[in-house]
Structure 1
C-alpha cells in the first residue's frame, strides 16, 4: 500500500475506464445486461487487447507486448 492521497496509485485503471467509456459505453445503447456483458467482453478482449495500439507499449497492442515478453 502506498501513502494516502497518492494520485498515481489508480492512474492505470482510471485511464482504462476513461477509454472504456469514451470508445465503447457512451457510443451504444444496450437492451439488456446480457447484451452489455457480451459486448463489453468483445470490446475488452477483442478490440482493446488485440487491435487497439497503446502508447505505453510503444504503439503495439497489449497482447503483442505480452507475446514479446514471453
Structure 2
C-alpha cells in the first residue's frame, strides 16, 4: 500500500481485490461474515496461491514461482561461493 489517493502505489492490491471479487465473491452466497472470511481465506490458500496461473509469474502459480525463485537464488549463491573459494 502506498500514499493516500495514489492508485498506482497500490495497483497490485487493487488487482488482487478485483480478481478475488470477480472470480470468487460475486459467484457465491455467504450466510455470515464468518463464513465469508473462512471460504475466502480457503480459496486464497487452496486455489489462488497453489493452482491459479498468473501472467506476471510466467504462467505459474505463486507457490511454484516462489519455489523456482528460491532454487535459482540458492544455485546463484552456490556459484558465487565456489567462485570466491
TM-score (norm 1): 0.87
Question: Partners of 1:52 and 1:3 in 2: how far apart?
Answer: 30
The structure with the largest alpha-carbon Rg is: 2
Q: Which has the higher helix share?
A: 2
Q: After alignment, is 6-15 or 22-31 more displaced?
A: 6-15
Q: In structure 1, list runs of 5 or more residues that go unmatched.
A: none
Q: In structure 2, list runs of 5 or more residues that go unmatched.
A: 71-85
Moved over 4 A (4+): 2-6
Give the alignment's Cα RMSD to 1 decimal: 1.8
What CA deviation, in whole Å up to 9, does each residue of 1:2-57 have, x standing for no partner? 77764421110010000000001101110112211110111111111001000000
Using CA pairs under 8 Å that are at least 6 residues apart, name the structure with larger relative contact order, 1 or 2. 1
- Alignment size in residue pairs: 69
